[in-house]
Structure 1
């Protein structure tokens, strides 16, 4: 059993022991992810440069907790929607490789240049 499957099993057991599954439809799972991702973003939203790096160092455990909360919802959603997360991730990375080939961007941080459509 993969580590991801073991983690999913723990999350499902935790949820089911509390009868929370009745509150976890696809919409609820998506909202849970968004809420936790926003809590992660809140920890760094107003900072940049060295100040951001300092905040990251100071809040490393809080950042880890929020990322773990996001991961919780991702695992639940994948399980409940019958999505093999490992396979989906590998497939998506292949798509990303075709869409954004290495060396195709001139500078890091600039949007990927869209293909010309003839307009």
Structure 2
């Protein structure tokens, strides 16, 4: 299944429910932000080791999968509403980041590109 297939499935889901009037870019970004918050809540206050183990049990894995799916579905819907080709956008941004984060300067460092020079 491709990104476009997923986008089309989410769009069809929304259209069958007549939700287009609610799916403005602002509303979708707000919903996306809420879902990212719900995903963050799962990991909040965990140690790095605990966060690595969240998906070790079935209940934790399902919670994380559902929240990640919600985030992705809102992102796909937002891209559809704004007519953004996600694959092309990611490829373009990776090219930009290749220039911002050259391997020889960025390898093993968690620094912003402006701090690498």
Identify the TM-score tier after normalising by the shorter chain.
Answer: 0.7 to 0.9
- Higher Rg: 1
TM-score (norm: length of structure 2): 0.87
Which residue matches 1:36? 35
Aligned alpha-carbon RMSD (Å)? 1.9
Deviations 1:36-56 (A, max 9, x none): 111111000111132222334
Output one character per residue of 1:57-90: Cα deviation in whole Å (capped at 9) or x when no partner: 2312211111110110111111110111111110
Structure 1 length-normalised TM: 0.85
Which runs of 5 or more residues in structure 2 are unaligned? none
What is the DSSP-based 3-state SS (H/G/I as helix, E as strand, rest coil) of the residue aligned with 2:104? coil
Q: How far is 1:104 from its partner?
A: 0.9
* Greater shift in the superposed pair: 2-11 or 39-48: 2-11
Distance 2:45 2:116 in 1: 34
CA distance in 2, matches of 1:7, 1:106: 33
> Match of 1:9?
8
Using CA pairs under 8 Å that are at least 6 residues apart, name the structure with larger relative contact order, 1 or 2: 2
